[in-house]
A and B are shown apart, each in its own frame.
Chain A
């Protein structure tokens, strides 16, 4: 009898432990996405939350589920729609209308949905005029017409390959997309033709950035900073980092700031092709992009710190937020919005000196 009991208990324990690994629409499954329209902060962290920028109050939420789970940073259209992509089992891209709230659920009504993708949405979509360029982990670029009036969208599909996790960027002429299959791709912004497709030798989880010199820069998991000619795709490594470069470099004149997962922080001068100073190691792994402010560079780290660095690499101030910060902070109206993991609160707003103004914790 004891044997039977022990065996049944082990099976139940196994089931519980395996179920715990299965994941679901919960806070902290991966790093959240944050965006703002200047008045409201939108947080995708399992569910999608609209939070008042003034006081951190929850305005509405769009509930997540096993099917619909949201982590990709929302995109906000000029007419105020909030576009969110699901990382759940339903791979829907949904436009929410915050001006049309269901009084029973206090959740916004869907203005349209796109159901053509086959994997999760991790990247924030890019808007060019009336077109939405949305990349999915299924390796496709989906181009949607934002003004066709459809409630069920159709898309032009450009097959690129690999898992696409980073927001595309554009120079108006071309759209640049990075892939975990080690490549950077340029697509014509008007004809959607693939112009070039180059391999870097390591996955590229961050976006490219256009430098002041007209060249394209990107970091990779091959621990390199790579420079591209945007017209031809010719490229070369310009810097060996200590470890994986995850974050999208931040542009500040002719300087690029970026970090690696060992916690090294680099300041690379695109004019001279060299580092401005020896890399500093402020505090913890860096996956978030730095924020360039008037008098300092803001850096969020895995150790839960928000650090202000001078342009000489010296630390000006450091604020312990708590938890772990992987998401790039958002700067708006003299506030910096941070979305840490493994903390009670989901968002924190800090003033220009790093003092906490409010935190946001969803109501149960």
Chain B
């Protein structure tokens, strides 16, 4: 089943690669846009869920149960679930798109490695994954994109030092996206806000590490996905610029 999933990714990537004139970097970017379009309803659900959770923080009933059951965590959890149910909020709704990302990331990484086929075994596996007709003239795919070899981790030599520029860009764009999507909270004990704050630190570090370690094709996916996410939030007026630039709201 998983292999079928990978094969679909590989065929879509190769089809785009063929259409755009044998450019695998561009194929990954367009593929990411496609993934974003397919997961658009999930992202919209996340925004809706985040907004509902944010609104809940100022709800009097919610604040009352926080105070009343501050020392009884079990009862507090029960009451929170009651409020979620009454207000029709799915507490996991804002997490789902983030969780959906992981199988996509893993599948994309495996698809990139398989499509670029840097070993004989990979190339043989690729032959089994391809269901498009007449692609033998495309094989092997051109792994060069700008200054990168998409099948290998990227770095640029600056003054003799190998600087992993893509890993830095991945970490920065992930941080910006996390900050922009983090709901503002006036409640210092708000667990949801605390978790979002934690994620805005850990996710850039984790994805930055992935970008540093794995094929740079994956970094192209991360950066494109992050930029698209930022644009999507900004266009829908959901971006929380105050988190990124303190004082932004006051001035604007």
The answer to the question of A255 belonging to the interface, with a C-beta cut-off of 8 Å to chain B, is no
In the complex, the answer to whether A22 meets B213 with C-beta atoms within 8 Å is yes
In the complex, the answer to whether A244 meets B136 with C-beta atoms within 8 Å is yes
In the complex, the answer to whether B120 meets A3 with C-beta atoms within 8 Å is no
In the complex, the answer to whether A14 meets B136 with C-beta atoms within 8 Å is no
B-contact 0/1 string along A4-46, CB 8 Å cutoff: 1011001101110110011100000111000000000000000
Partner of B121, one of A18, A180, A261, A326: A326
- By a beta-carbon cutoff of 8 Å, the part of chain A in contact with chain B is 1, 3-4, 6-7, 10-11, 13-15, 17-18, 21-23, 29-31, 71, 87, 120, 122, 137, 163, 165, 180-182, 201-203, 205, 221-223, 243-244, 246, 261, 285, 287, 326, 341
Question: Roughly how many angstroms separate A87 CA and B121 CA in the complex, as a whole number?
Answer: 13
Beyond A3-B95, A22-B213, 9 extra complex contacts between A and B, CB < 8 Å: A7-B98, A7-B199, A14-B102, A18-B210, A21-B113, A120-B118, A222-B136, A223-B136, A244-B127
Q: For the side of the interface on B, what is the size category?
A: 20 to 34
- By a beta-carbon cutoff of 8 Å, the part of chain B in contact with chain A is 91-92, 95, 98-99, 102, 105-106, 109-110, 113, 118-124, 127, 136-137, 139-140, 191-192, 195, 198-199, 202-203, 206, 210, 213-214
In the complex, the answer to whether B206 meets A180 with C-beta atoms within 8 Å is no
In the complex, the answer to whether B136 meets A202 with C-beta atoms within 8 Å is yes
Tell me which residues across on chain B come within 8 A of A23, comparing CB atoms: 113
Tell me which residues across on chain A come within 8 A of B191, comparing CB atoms: 1, 4
In the complex, the answer to whether A17 meets B106 with C-beta atoms within 8 Å is yes
Tell me which residues across on chain A come within 8 A of B202, comparing CB atoms: 11
Q: Which residue of chain B is the closest to A285 with respect to CB atoms?
A: B124
Tell me which residues across on chain A come within 8 A of B92, comparing CB atoms: 3, 6
In the complex, the answer to whether A18 meets B106 with C-beta atoms within 8 Å is yes
Tell me which residues across on chain B come within 8 A of A31, comparing CB atoms: 120-121
In the complex, the answer to whether B137 meets A182 with C-beta atoms within 8 Å is yes
Provide a sorted-by-A list of 12 A–B residue pairs whose CB atoms are within 8 angstroms: A1-B191, A15-B210, A18-B106, A21-B110, A30-B119, A30-B120, A203-B136, A221-B127, A221-B139, A246-B124, A261-B127, A285-B124
In the complex, the answer to whether B124 meets A18 with C-beta atoms within 8 Å is no
Distance of B205 from chain A, by nearest CB (Å): 10
Tell me which residues across on chain B come within 8 A of A10, comparing CB atoms: 98-99, 102
In the complex, the answer to whether B195 meets A4 with C-beta atoms within 8 Å is yes
In the complex, the answer to whether A7 meets B95 with C-beta atoms within 8 Å is yes
Q: Which 6 A-B pairs have the closest CB atoms?
A: A30-B119, A30-B121, A14-B102, A202-B136, A4-B195, A17-B106
In the complex, the answer to whether B124 meets A29 with C-beta atoms within 8 Å is no
Distance of B56 from chain A, by nearest CB (Å): 14
In the complex, the answer to whether A21 meets B109 with C-beta atoms within 8 Å is yes
Given A7-B98, A203-B140, A221-B139, A18:B214 Cβ within 8 A:
yes
Given A3-B195, A15-B206, A222:B102 Cβ within 8 A:
no
Question: Roughly how many angstroms separate A182 CA and B141 CA in the complex, as a whole number?
Answer: 12
Q: Which residue of chain A is the closest to B94 with respect to CB atoms?
A: A3
In the complex, the answer to whether A71 meets B137 with C-beta atoms within 8 Å is no
In the complex, the answer to whether B124 meets A202 with C-beta atoms within 8 Å is no
In the complex, the answer to whether A163 meets B140 with C-beta atoms within 8 Å is yes
In the complex, the answer to whether A3 meets B91 with C-beta atoms within 8 Å is yes
Partner of B137, one of A30, A163, A202: A202
Determine which residue in A3, A137, A223 has the highest number of CB atoms from chain B within 10 A of its CB, and name it. A3
Question: Roughly how many angstroms separate A30 CA and B120 CA in the complex, as a whole number?
Answer: 6
Given A3-B92, A244-B136, A205:B120 Cβ within 8 A:
yes
Tell me which residues across on chain B come within 8 A of A22, comparing CB atoms: 213-214
Q: Which residue of chain B is the closest to A324 with respect to CB atoms?
A: B121
Tell me which residues across on chain A come within 8 A of B113, comparing CB atoms: 21, 23
Question: Roughly how many angstroms separate A51 CA and B94 CA in the complex, as a whole number?
Answer: 58
Q: Which residue of chain A is the closest to B119 with respect to CB atoms?
A: A30
Tell me which residues across on chain B come within 8 A of A326, comparing CB atoms: 120-121, 124
Question: Roughly how many angstroms separate A163 CA and B141 CA in the complex, as a whole number?
Answer: 11
In the complex, the answer to whether A14 meets B106 with C-beta atoms within 8 Å is yes
In the complex, the answer to whether B118 meets A29 with C-beta atoms within 8 Å is no
Q: Which residue of chain B is the closest to A246 with respect to CB atoms?
A: B124
Distance of B201 from chain A, by nearest CB (Å): 12
